[in-house]
Amino acid sequence: MSYKGLDGWLETETFDGLREAALSNLWFPMQQLNDVAKEGGLQIMRSGQGAKITDFEGREYYDGFAGLALVNVGYGREEIADAVRDQLATLHYANTFSYGTIPAIKAAEKLASLAPGDLNRVFFTSGGSDSVETAMKMARQYHFNRGDKERIKFISRQGSYHGVSLGALAVNQAPWVNRDIFQPMLPIVRVAPQPYPYRCALEGETASECNIRCAQAVEDIILEEGAETVAAVIAEPVSVSSGVAIPGPEYWPMLREICDRHGVLLIADEVINGFGRTGKMFAIEHFGVQPDIMTLAKGITSGYQAVGACIARDQVADAFVGEGDVTFRHGYTYSGHPAGAAAALVNMEIIEREGLVENSAVMGQRLLDRLTALKESPIVGDVRGLGLMCAIELVKDKATKESLSSVPGAGDKLSARLAENGLLTRTVPYLNLTPALTLSAAEVDEIADIVSDGISYIEKELGY
C-alpha cells in the first residue's frame, strides 16, 4: 500500500530521499524553490501532540504559529480523527448541491448557536479564500436581489490579508502577495487605512484619534464613490497580517454605524480570529458589534479538515429566498463535506468542553505580560496581543521605527536561535505567537523564556 503511516514510512524513507522528491515534485506555496533547496531550507514534519510538532529527525518544537494560526485545539486529537474516520467509512460524500447530510446540518446548527446575534445561516466552503469570495458574491447579490444593482464596490484596509483567489486577492492588501502581477483585478475595490496606532497612516496623535480617523476614512471613501455604488466593507476584527493590529473601542462601532447609515454591508473576516484565538469565541465580540456576514475557516476544524464557512444574518439570507435568479447559484463541490463537518462539530465541542476560549484569554494575558517586559530592548518597537494572538514588532531603530526586516539575515538568525531552543514561529517584521489554545502556564513561560533569549541574542549579534 502506498500509504504506510508514520511507522512504515520511517522504515523506508530517508530525509535525503524525501528532500529530492520534494524538490522535484512539490510546489511550496508562498515559497521560492531556491530557498527551499538551500542547506537547511526544508524541514519535513512528521507528527504533533498538544502545542508541539515533531520533525522527520524526531526533534520536537513548540509550534508558535500553530500551523498557520489554526491548530486551536492542539495536535493529535484522536477524538476528531475518530469522528472523521467514522464519517468517511459511513458516508464520505453526498452531492452537496442536492442533499443535506447529518453532520453538515448539525455543524450549521452549532455554528449558528455560537455566532453573535442573528448570524444564523451558514454557507460552507473549503477554506478562507473561498469564504471571502463567497461573502463578496453574497454581498453583491444581496444588493442586486433588492434592486440595488449599482452596489458593486468593496472597501478593504491597508495591510489586511483576505486570501488569494482573484476576488479575495482584490480585497487582500497584504504587501507580500504580488498583487501587481495580477492587475487588472476587480476594479471596484478601494483601500482604507488600517487602525494601527503604532504606525498610524493618518495624522492621529493618540491611538484614539487614529481609530476615529481610520473609521472616518471609510466613510469618506463611501461618499467619494457614492454610497449607492458600495456593496460592502470587509475587515478582520484584528488584523494579524498587520502584526496583530488591535483597533481601539471606537473603531468597530463607528464602522457599523457608517455602514448602516449608507446601506453598506459589513463583513467581519474571522478566518484567523475566530474560535477562541483572541480570548472570545469570535473577535468581533470584543467590540460589541454585529456584522452582516462573518467569514470563517482555520479554527473551525483546527485544521483537521479543510473547511470554511460564511455566516449571514437572517436579513441577508432572506434576500435570497424567492423564485429563479434570486437563488445564490454559488457553491463548492466540498461545501458541507460530511467528514469536514464532523471534524468541525467535534472541534467546537472540544473548544467548549475544555474552556479553551477562557484559557486563551488567561494564557494570552500571561504571555502578553511576559512579552511586554521585552519592550526595554532596543529592537522591540511594540508588543501587542489579544488572547493567544500576540506579536512583537521588531525594529532596527526605535526612534524611526524602521523595521528589523531591513537588516539582512536578522530574521533568519533569530528564527534559527528560537528553533535551537525549541520554538518555531515567524520572526520579521513581526515575531508572531499564536500557539495552540491548550497552552498551560508552564508552557507559556517556557515560550516566553525562549523568545526573551532570542531577542537578547539578536541584540548582541547586531551590536546594540
Whole-number Cα distances in Å, 423 to 53, 89, 283: 10, 37, 26
Residue 71 is a binding residue for ligand PLP (CB under 6 A): no
Residue 128 is a binding residue for ligand PLP (CB under 6 A): yes
Residue 136 is a binding residue for ligand PLP (CB under 6 A): no
Residue 391 is a binding residue for ligand PLP (CB under 6 A): no
Distance, in Å, from the CA atom of 188 to the CA atom of 190, rounded to the nearest integer, reads 7
Interface residue with ligand PLP among 52, 151, 157, 162 (CB under 6 A) is 162
Interface residue with ligand PLP among 192, 297, 374, 437 (CB under 6 A) is 297
**Considering just the CA atoms, what is the radius of gyration of the chain in Å?**
22
- For residue 53 the three cell numbers come to 510538532
User: What are the phi and psi torsion angles at 189 (to 5°)?
Assistant: -120, 130
Distance, in Å, from the CA atom of 177 to the CA atom of 162, rounded to the nearest integer, reads 11
Least Å from the CB of residue 161 to ligand PLP: 5
For ligand PLP, the closer of residues 120 and 165 by Cβ is: 165
| Of 299, 273, 436, 297, residue with least CA distance to 360 | 436
Residue 63 is a binding residue for ligand PLP (CB under 6 A): no
For ligand PLP, the closer of residues 277 and 370 by Cβ is: 277
Interface residue with ligand PLP among 161, 275, 332, 334 (CB under 6 A) is 161
244: left (phi over 0), alpha (psi -120 to 50) or beta: left
For ligand PLP, the closer of residues 56 and 430 by Cβ is: 430
Residue 417 is a binding residue for ligand PLP (CB under 6 A): no
For ligand PLP, the closer of residues 66 and 374 by Cβ is: 66
Q: How many CB atoms lie within 10 A of CB 142?
A: 24
Least Å from the CB of residue 128 to ligand PLP: 2
| Of 408, 407, 425, 429, residue with least CA distance to 417 | 425
Residue 284 is a binding residue for ligand PLP (CB under 6 A): no
Residue 184, preceding peptide bond in cis (omega within 30° of 0)? yes
* Options 16-24, 127-135, 316-324, 406-414: segment touching ligand PLP (CB under 6 A): 127-135
Distance, in Å, from the CA atom of 386 to the CA atom of 236, rounded to the nearest integer, reads 14
Residue 271 is a binding residue for ligand PLP (CB under 6 A): yes
Single-letter amino acid code for the residue at 37: A
Least Å from the CB of residue 120 to ligand PLP: 22
Q: Which residues bind ligand PLP (CB under 6 A)?
A: 68, 127-129, 132, 161-163, 236, 240, 269, 271-272, 297
